[in-house]
Amino acid sequence: MKSPVPDYLQEVLDSLSENTDGAVADYIPDLAHANPDVFGIAVTTVDGRTHSAGDDEVEFSIQSISKPFAYAAALTDRGFDAVANTVGVEPSGEAFNELSLEGETRRPKNPMINAGAIATHSMLGGSVDERVSRALSFFSTLAGRQLTVDESVCRSEMATADRNLAIAHMLRNYGILADDAHAVVEGYTTQCSINVTVRDLSVMGATLANAGVHPVTGERVVTRAIARQTLSVMAGAGMYDAAGHWLTSVGIPAKSGVAGGLLGSLPGQVGIGVMSPRLDAHGNSVRGVKAFQRLSDDMGMHLMEAEPYGSSVLRSISEAHGEVRVELQGVVQFSGAERVLDALSRDSSLGTVLFDVSRVDRFSDVGRRMVLEGMRRVVLDGRGVVLTDPDGVLPDPDLGDGTFPQIR
C-alpha cells in the first residue's frame, strides 16, 4: 500500500499552483532572478520519515530561516545567560529590518529580526571564518547532509547590505557588538546564503520538534531546553509583524526567508518545509503561508489544539494464518496515524488486514480520516479489511463507494 501523505501534499500544491500573488524579493539582485513558479513541500515526522511533493530537491538560500538555528547554536556555545545579555526574546511588532532595540539595555528585541540575528551571529566565533564554519557545520548536522554556501547570492547580498551594515554599526556603538561591524555582517550574510531544500528544512525543523534529537540519526544536536527556547521564540517572533496573526490562525512555530522558504516545527510531531518565491508585504511566501494554513486546518496541527503525540499508537503489527493484525492504542492523531500508514506501506503480504482498535481511547478527526484512507487503499490493493471495534471509537467506517470493513 502506498502512503497517502505524499498524495495529500501534492493536492495542497495543486490547489495553490494558480496563485501568483506577491513578488520575488528584488532588493537582492540574485533573488530578483529567481524562478517564481518553484513550489515544493516536505514534512518529516519525529520518527524520521520524510514525505514530500513538488520541487522538493531544488536548492535555495536559507536566508532568515537561518536565524532560529543560529540562535540555537549560540545558546549551545555561550549559554542562556550570555545570549540573554546580548539579545532579548520579545516580539517587536515591526518589520524584519527595523532597528528594534530595548530602551535601556539597547539589546535587539529578539533574534528573529535582523538586528537580533546579527548580534546572535557575532556569538558564533571570533572571526568571519570561525562564525561561518560554525553555522555551516551546525546547519549541516541538523539537515543530515553537508550543506554549501551560494557564493553568488552572498556577493549579491553584500553589495546591497547597507541597511544591515548600518544596524551593525549602531549595535557596535551601543556595545552590543564587540567585533568589527563589517566583518560581522559579512559572516551573517554568508550564513544566510547557505543552500537548503524543503526536505532539509523539514528535517531541521523535526530535530527541534523532537526536543533536539535528530529524527534520522538519533544524535542529540541540542538540549531539550535549547529546543524549547528556540521554538518558543519562533512562535512569538518568527513571522515578524505578522507573528500574532500567524500564531492565532496557523499555530505552528515558524520562520520565513526572503528567498521564499518557510520552516515550521510542531513540537512532538513534525518539521515542515515549504518553498515558493513570491512574497507578501511582510516578506513571507504567499503560497507558503497558504500551504501552512491548509496543513493546520486539515491536519489539526494548530499548537493550541494539537493532540498528545502517541509514539506507541501502533501497539503491534503481526501476521498469522494469512492475516495481518494491526493493533492500535491510545489517542490516534496525525503523527500516530502516519506511523500506521507507514507500517502498512511496508507490508508486502497479500492477506486480509485486521485493524484492532479495542485499545484506542480516541481518534482525532484527521487520525480517523487517515486510518480509513489506509483501509480504503488496502481494499484497492485487492485485500480484505476487518475491523475489531467493540467500543465504537471509529464511527461510520465508510471506505468510499458504500464500502465498509467486515466487523469482527
Which residues carry out catalysis? 64, 67, 188, 240, 258
Joined grid coordinates for residue 46: 519525529
**For residue 196, which amino acid is it?**
V
Q: Which residue has the cell 526572503?
A: 258
Identify the CA nearest to 43 among candidates 69, 77, 80, 5. 5
The residue with cell 540574485 is 30
Which amino acid would we find at residue 125? G
Cβ(77)–Cβ(134) below 8 Å: yes
The residue to which cell 518553484 is assigned: 38
The Cα–Cα gap between 127 and 111 comes to: 20
User: Which of 268, 300, 310 has its CA nearest to residue 366?
Assistant: 300
Grid cell listed for 384 = 480484505
Longest C-alpha distance within the chain, in Å? 77
Among candidate residues 48, 47, 71, the one with its CA nearest the CA of residue 199: 48
297: left (phi over 0), alpha (psi -120 to 50) or beta: alpha
Residue 32's Cα: distance from chain center in Å? 25
**Rounded to whole angstroms, how far apart are CA atoms 202 and 295?**
14
In order, the DSSP letters of 243-255 are HHHHHHHT-S-EE
Helix-strand-coil split of the chain, %, nearest 5: 45, 20, 40
Packing angle of the helix pair 181-192, 114-121 (nearest 10 deg): 100
Give the Cα separation of 247 and 44 in Å (integer): 21
Alpha helices in 266-322 (DSSP H): 286-299
Cβ neighbours for 163, distance < 8 A, ≥ 6 positions apart: 97, 114
